[in-house]
Amino acid sequence: MNDSAVASGVQVPGDLTPVGYVSGAYGIVGGIRVSPHSPEADALLSVKTWWLDKPTLHAVTVRSAKLHGGDVVATLVGMRDRDAAEALKGATVQVARSEFPALEEGEYYWSDLIGLDVVNLQGEALGKVTDMMHNGAQSILRITPVADPASEGKAQERLVPFVDQFVKTVSLEQKLITLDWGLDF
């Protein structure tokens, strides 16, 4: 598989990761408001090249970005009017994963956790992380159970707080999270 493609004559990184979406214009001189996928919005605040998928995939250079009421407000190089900013509403904002800021040991980006398999301390499969949420106090793993043809009825999705009490190990290399969580929870 190709690690990159070409969009508008520019090499597109093969590790683009969605980090938010444009929720509207900000101010009268072409600022945009971005709803981040994570509350910290580290990548949006530190990376200077974003990729927007509207009208087609293209790179933009960020002049400034800051947190404002849970969103990120940003000004982009070359964008100077509110109408142009409004035209981007709904665009997905992506950043090259290789440009994300480094994290401390034991910290993880949500995008790195989504897709990992989850087992409990007994080695029983709990499912796969399909999404992350934030409830104001901590991040929450949304775990979709593995399909078990022997089980009657549909197994319930699990919502598990991403805290040390429950999360015992995370191995990005093995693509595995081990929880202190019973099958009957």
CATH of domain 16-99: 2.40.30.60
At residue 2 the predicted structure's pLDDT band, cuts being 50, 70 and 90, is very low
pTM of the predicted structure, to 2 decimals: 0.77
For 110-179, CATH number out of 2.30.30.240, 3.30.1950.10, 2.60.40.10, 3.90.580.10 equals 2.30.30.240
Cβ–Cβ < 8 Å for 108, 40: no
Per-residue pLDDT at 167 exceeds 90:
yes
16-99 and 110-179 have identical folds = no
At residue 3 the predicted structure's pLDDT band, cuts being 50, 70 and 90, is very low
In terms of Cα–Cα distance, which of 115, 113, 119, 156 is closest to 134?
Answer: 113
- Name the amino acid, one letter, at 32: I
At residue 37 the predicted structure's pLDDT band, cuts being 50, 70 and 90, is confident
The DSSP result for 75-119, as a single string, is EETT---HHHHHTTTTPEEEEEGGGSPP--TT---HHHHTT-EEE
| Structural domain spans, the chain | 16-99, 110-179
Beta strand extents in 100-175 (DSSP E only): 117-120, 125-134, 139-144, 158-161, 167-171
